[in-house]
Amino acid sequence: MDWNEIDVKSTPLSFINSDDELKKLFINSVVFSDLMQRHEPVRLSHYLENTQYGYTTSSSENGQYRFLRITDIQEGKVNWGTVPYCDCNKPDKYLLAKNDILIARTGGTTGKSFLIKESLNNADFASYLIRLRLKEKVYPGFISLYLNSYLFWTQILELKSGSAQPNVNAEKLKTLLVPKVDPQQQKEIYETVVGIKPHSSYAEIKVLIARSKSNFVKIKRFGIEISHQQALLKQLRQAILQEAVQGKLTEQWRSAHPEVEPASALLERIQAEKARLVKEKRIKKSKPLPPITPDDIPFDFPEGWVWCRLGDVSSKIGSGSTPKGGKDVYVDEGIPFFRSQNIYEDGLRLDDVAYISEEVHAKMSGTQVFPNDVLLNITGGSIGRATHIPGSFLEGNVSQHVSIIRPILFDSIYLHKIILSPFLQKDIYSSTTGAGREGLPKYNLEKFLIPLPSLAEQKAIVEKVESLLAKVNQLEQEAQQNQQHAEQLLQSVLREVMNPVSV
């Protein structure tokens, strides 16, 4: 890897969340990018006496040595009182000493580092860590600053790209590019950067630090404003859906259409149609649902609307299933098999869809999806996410994590909007059962209350909602573009110091 080929970038790091830590990372990045312009680039091995992988064993409550693991390092600190123990038959090989640096070599925190600042005499380290032992005259704080800069992280991400499991080994670490700085300068640079003792000989670095702090504040403020905009747009989206199901968006429409069939007549037709389907044995007779009492009603709605339960107005409510043979029966092309990751509010996402054969599809008749069905995720982290199946849909099946809801004689797009509204989303979350992986039982789904207007007003509500949400979508796209602009600003500030700075 050549220095001129490294494009230093800011990279989101899941274990760095505080503004203070982000600011340090930003400042370190600017300083080390500048140092790379002023000093000869060398490999990290130039500063190392040796590297060592950690000890492979199980931790225990008792033992001769403390046993430091990745999970014991939190927010740049270790609470040694909670670190477990181990017994080690080669303690000298794995003992930690002051100024050792540990680096996570696998998992989501690959590259995360920790400098041992205190003298230890009874602590080993676990196998998912790599110990860097510095040469005697190397100033450890200087290397620690480097390991907490985007100069380091850009190279780490390049090394571990393409791996199914993020990881980095000791030999790769040794090849990373670092500015070659003599020991006395290392100490002075560290003291200048952290503010212990700003050295007058590093006026350029002090200017860079001041400029970096100012730019960071500006970018952070911009980011906060964008986040606030996005939160307001999310609230606006929820408010539109809530007002829709309360009839507030179609007040003028109702005034202009007094002759419309009342919802009570529509409900009677729905119930008659459901009875016919049961009589013809096209659907099974469902268990009676509890009557709706005044205490059940969550809000008022316009005259002419009625409350009903979802099970009373649907010909099918039921989850799919796993095909016999599980993932082994998936094929490269065939009938789509929709799972929870394919269900989104704005439609089906097909980039990660599985496929089953015609033969398997025919054996899963109870899980088949039809045009105008509504699909609802009923387990896991995406519970409550729902999509409407368009009339042009051909065929497909769903997994056990997705429920098919098939309404009778009323607008399925309107039903989709009801499910996404705050009042029903609240019911979905409060109706889940099961420890660990929550699920939404069929009977709980059937009991959900549905505000039912006339069929004509349902269509008017859908038209109004989609018109308003289209404007919200446009504003959200603008906010997303602004967010990308903020990230570009951060990248441009880092790139500014890729050239020598004139003071």
Per-residue pLDDT averaged across 174-202, rounded?
Answer: 85
Q: Domain of 434: which CATH number?
A: 3.90.220.20
> Is the distance from CB of 323 to CB of 360 less than 8 angstroms?
yes
Q: Give 209-250 pLDDT, tens digit per residue.
A: 777 677 766 766 766 777 788 888 999 999 999 999 999 999
Domain that holds residue 497: 200-260+455-503
What are 162-171's contacts with CB under 8 Å, separation 24+? 165/106, 165/107, 166/106, 166/107, 166/108, 166/110, 167/105, 167/106, 167/107, 167/110, 168/103, 168/105, 168/106, 168/110, 168/111, 169/105, 169/130, 170/51, 170/52, 170/53, 170/105, 170/130
Backbone angles phi, psi at 475, to 5 degrees: -65, -35
Residue 364: DSSP 8-state: T
219: left (phi over 0), alpha (psi -120 to 50) or beta: alpha
Q: Mean pLDDT for the chain?
A: 87
Same domain, 397 and 473: no
Same domain, 232 and 130: no
pTM: 0.65
Please list, in sequence order, all residues whose beta carbon lies within 8 angstroms of the beta carbon of residue 63, skipping any fewer than 6 positions away.
Answer: 84, 85, 86, 87
Closest to 172 measured CA to CA, from 72, 53, 14? 53
Q: Give 455-479 pLDDT, tens digit per residue.
A: 999 999 999 999 999 999 998 888 8
Same domain, 325 and 393: yes
Please list, in sequence order, all residues whose beta carbon lies within 8 angstroms of the beta carbon of residue 473, skipping any fewer than 6 positions away.
Answer: none
Residue 365: DSSP 8-state: G
Total count of domains within the chain: 3
Q: Which residues on adjacent β-strands are paired with residue 306?
A: 452
Same domain, 43 and 138: yes
Residue 271 covered by a domain: no
Same domain, 214 and 284: no
Closest to 49 measured CA to CA, from 170, 153, 190? 170
d(CA 380, CA 393): 26
> Residue 17: pLDDT above 90?
no
Residue 269 covered by a domain: no
Alpha helices in 401-441 (DSSP H): 412-420, 422-430
Same domain, 133 and 69: yes
Q: Give 119-143 pLDDT, tens digit per residue.
A: 888 999 999 999 999 999 999 999 9
Same domain, 341 and 465: no
Given this model, what pLDDT does residue 209 score? 72
Same domain, 306 and 388: yes
Residue 268 covered by a domain: no
Residue 371 covered by a domain: yes
> Is the distance from CB of 317 to CB of 403 less than 8 angstroms?
yes
> Residue 436: pLDDT above 50?
no
Confidence of residue 501 (pLDDT cuts 50, 70, 90): very low
